[in-house]
Amino acid sequence: MNQTRILSTRNLVLIGMLGSLSAVLMLFKFPLPFAPAFYTVDFSEVPVLIGAFALGPITGILIEFVKVLINFVLNGTYTAGIGEFANFLSGAILVFTAASIYTRKKTKTSAIIGLFTATIVMSIASCFINYFITLPAYFTLCGYNWDMILGMVPKGNSLVTGQMTFLLLAVLPFNIVKCGLSSLITLLLYKPLSPIIKGQFR
């Protein structure tokens, strides 16, 4: 898909619509019992993944950007923009990986492989993003430190005792669950919705 096609009027409308829907879905979120409460699961990546599958990985990244931008404008930020940046970066990795694999051969098997691969890649990448970017930024701008972060881990996850176990036993499984649920819903919804998004519905 070349730049002209990506920025066509119809695609810009779809990017805006899917990004807006994703921003709305960001409002409905819930924590997981083994991770700190500031890590929450939502299904805002589902419209982004569907759009990326239908229109290509670059368009998916644009939808992700619109999602984060709309949420930032409407709801502001409690994290000095750090959480929004991390959300965009991790979401972009997820949708670009999944859509890049799927668009090479558009079959159900390819979609499953793409979503599975993207879930693993994004979950591992999130550990690095948290360790090298997100958490250090929180420490610098918001006054947090590792002891405070570790203190937010639910008591039921007693195996988290330090930085490495936090990444491996809280951040990693959290993202696997979050991306896995979004991937599953995407698989269920994409086939009936893709003709409408592609303008082939009769």
Taking only the tens place, the pLDDT of each residue in 45-60 is 999 999 999 889 999 9
| Tens-digit pLDDT string for the chain (202 aa) | 455 466 677 778 889 999 999 999 999 999 999 999 889 999 999 999 999 998 899 999 999 999 999 998 888 777 778 888 999 999 999 999 999 999 998 899 999 999 999 999 999 999 999 999 999 998 988 888 899 999 999 988 888 989 999 999 999 999 999 999 999 999 999 888 777 776 644 4
- Give the sign of the dihedral formed by CA 14, CA 3, CA 94, CA 144: negative
User: Structure tokens of 162?
Assistant: 């330090």
CA–CA distance, 171 with 39 (Å, rounded to integer): 8
The answer to whether the beta carbons of residues 29 and 8 sit under 8 Å apart is no
CA 148 to chain centre: 25
> Which residues touch 57 (CB under 8 Å, ≥6 apart)?
95, 96, 99, 100, 103
pLDDT at 53: 93
pLDDT at 202: 42
pLDDT at 201: 44
Q: How many CA atoms lie within 13 A of 90 on its CB side?
A: 28
pLDDT at 199: 66
**Residue 30, SS3 per DSSP:** strand
Q: Supply the DSSP symbol for 156.
A: T
What structural domains and CATH numbers belong to the chain?
3-29+36-197 (1.10.1760.20)
CA–CA distance, 55 with 14 (Å, rounded to integer): 9
pLDDT at 6: 62
CA–CA distance, 169 with 18 (Å, rounded to integer): 33
Q: How many CA atoms lie within 13 A of 171 on its CB side?
A: 23
Element (H, E) at 31: strand 30-31
CA–CA distance, 149 with 85 (Å, rounded to integer): 19
- Residue for token pair 């930024």: 137
pLDDT at 77: 77
The answer to whether the beta carbons of residues 158 and 14 sit under 8 Å apart is no
pLDDT at 116: 97
Count of beta carbons in the 10 Å neighbourhood of residue 54: 24
CA–CA distance, 40 with 127 (Å, rounded to integer): 15
